[in-house]
Amino acid sequence: MGLDFKDLVVVITGGGGALGRSYALMYGRGGGKVVINDVSKEAAEKVAAEVRQVGGQAAVAVGSVMDGQAIIDVAVKAFGTVHVLINNAGILRDKSFRNMTQKEFDEVYDIHIRGAFYMTKAVWPIFRAQKFGRIVNTSSPAGIYGNGGQTNYSGAKMGLVTFAQVWNAEGVKYNIKANTIAPLAASNMTATVMTPEVLSHLSPEHIAPLVGVLTARNGPDVGGRLFEVGAGFYGEVKWQQSEGHVFKADDSFTPNAVDLAWPKVKDFSKGATFPNKSDGPKMMEIVKLQPTLKPNPQGPAAPTSFKGYTVLITGAGAGLGAAYARYFAKYGANVVVNDINAEAANKVVEEVNRLGGVGLAAVGSVEEPEPIVKACVDKFGTVHALINNAGILRDKAFINTTPELFDSVLNIHVRGSWKMAKAVWPYMYKQQFGRILNTSSPNGVTGVHGQANYGTAKAAIIGFTRALAVEGNKNNIYVNAMCPSAGTAMTATIWTQELLDTFKPDFVAPISAYLASPLCHDNGLIIKAFGGLASQYRWMRTGGYVFPNDRPATPDQLASKWDQVVKVDGRAIFPANAAEARAPITANFSYQKGARL
């Protein structure tokens, strides 16, 4: 029996473009009922007419995805319900980070992230009530691996990956499944950056079968996962975590000790795992391990001093940010303590001065970075390192997450990080040196129930980090991200004292300080840290399955090879950037018949 699309009501945003059209025709041929959304009435109606010609039913919903409820209302009026949502709408506003405007940043996030929020928010009650729903988000290789000139787009596209993971976690008991695809295909957007020769091999018809497999009534049980697809190639992309290294969490946890053991942090040769949603077992292992560890070796280098080194830390009035400030102070740094709470900021400054650093309070919101950076430069002449640490939580099940709750978290975490980096960038560029450390989260990697806003924001920070790292590299501005876990005022109510003592913010600070210091020469890393452990995240992509480039597969043909698409074996690769990921796909351009692994 083939995949079943009969009478599925499918809403496709951006459905008037090349990708959306290919999806619509696939569903139409399968007897589906397709709602074509586009801002262009002419484009949407043209695709709708084609759907009818191949045997499907079609309706048109003209408008922006920012008005998701109106689009879904059209679908329900036409066909009575919605079964499938394809979040496909997108725009580009590419520009170097130095020249990108706030408007260009916001426009991309509005369509990709907030648009997906409004569209999914509108279908969610329908999916829950009927105990069936399928969602496909559209990411991009730029979102997964980062791309220069796309700090807005890369962040937004990575955010969509974890957004789908959270929906999937919350939708399990309602038979709602959400996945993400990262297509490489000819479209109006890619036509601006690829040659006609390359585009000729990247037919959107190669993408549609994957969307079909992920949304058919009787498709495989797949949820919360990410797939790369293009030119006949289909593969799954997964996070992999190194075994890492556990440092003794005492006074020997110095910058020199971190630098000496850093290669162990990045070693994937043994003990690498696929991260899951709970660090509980690893945390208990570290609780038992810490008392047995010997002091950390320091190596032959002279003890590190950060005297004269200026570090700006946001959200540093308490918790992790305050721990970072104290650690830098112990080594003589100039520390700018930013917080919205003046009393908290000044208290940390007193600690900084007492520990041997030079402290300055810069009170204000990261949404208004200019006064914060000006205070830093007026006092210390420049800024060498920025740690974007400010953040808030507004946890809620997706069904109860309002636009205000969603936007407030994204604004502080993502837009705040973007704005702060934008404000310090001219100084770092002029001095041809800078270190920026952004703060993601393990929940931005895996996505957890009740954190659609937070998980999406923390994933977007990963995409932003990798894109900015590409741009900063040639100017000795290195940008990394950290996913920390530590005891806080919130966990104090549920953790034992032993856990609180083992996972203090102070035991994350040495890793943060290393990544934000001149000692660090890595760029674009995503590092997990807690309780003295430091490990690296990287992407793994399965060897997948390849169909001929000149003969797009059908959804049924792809479904028959699904086990090979997702199989993890010796053919897997570990792309560090978009070019490495693209190479096996473009190699398929010359493959014209048959099928091979």
Residue 416, token pair as written in the block? 């705040």
Other beta carbons within 10 Å of 87 = 28
* CA–CA gap between residue 314 and residue 423 (Å, rounded): 13
List 121, 157, 282, 422, catalytic entry: 157
Residue 479, token pair as written in the block? 């940008």
Per the CB < 8 A criterion, the answer to whether 573 and 231 are in contact is no
Q: Are strands 226-230 and 233-241 parallel, antiparallel or unpaired?
A: antiparallel
Buried b (16+ CB within 10 A) or exposed e, 542-552: bbbbbbbbeeb
Annotated catalytic, 153?
yes
The DSSP H or E segment spanning 535 is: strand 533-541
Among the listed residues 485, 446, 438, 443, the one whose alpha carbon sits nearest the alpha carbon of residue 462: 438
- Can you give the C-alpha Rg of the chain in angstroms? 24
* CA–CA gap between residue 461 and residue 438 (Å, rounded): 7
Per the CB < 8 A criterion, the answer to whether 482 and 439 are in contact is yes
- Cα-Cα-Cα-Cα torsion 180, 182, 186, 187, nearest 10 degrees, comes to 50
List 153, 309, 324, 478, catalytic entry: 153
DSSP secondary structure code for residue 565 in this structure:
H
Buried b (16+ CB within 10 A) or exposed e, 248-283: bbeebbbbbbbbbbbeebbbbeeebeebeeebeebb
Annotated catalytic, 454?
yes
Give Dmax over CA atoms of the chain in angstroms.
Answer: 77
* CA–CA gap between residue 375 and residue 338 (Å, rounded): 10
List 27, 109, 331, 454, catalytic entry: 454
Task: Quickly list H helices, 133-206.
Answer: 141-145, 151-171, 196-199
**N- to C-terminal Cα separation, the chain:** 24
Residues annotated catalytic, as ranges = 153, 157, 454
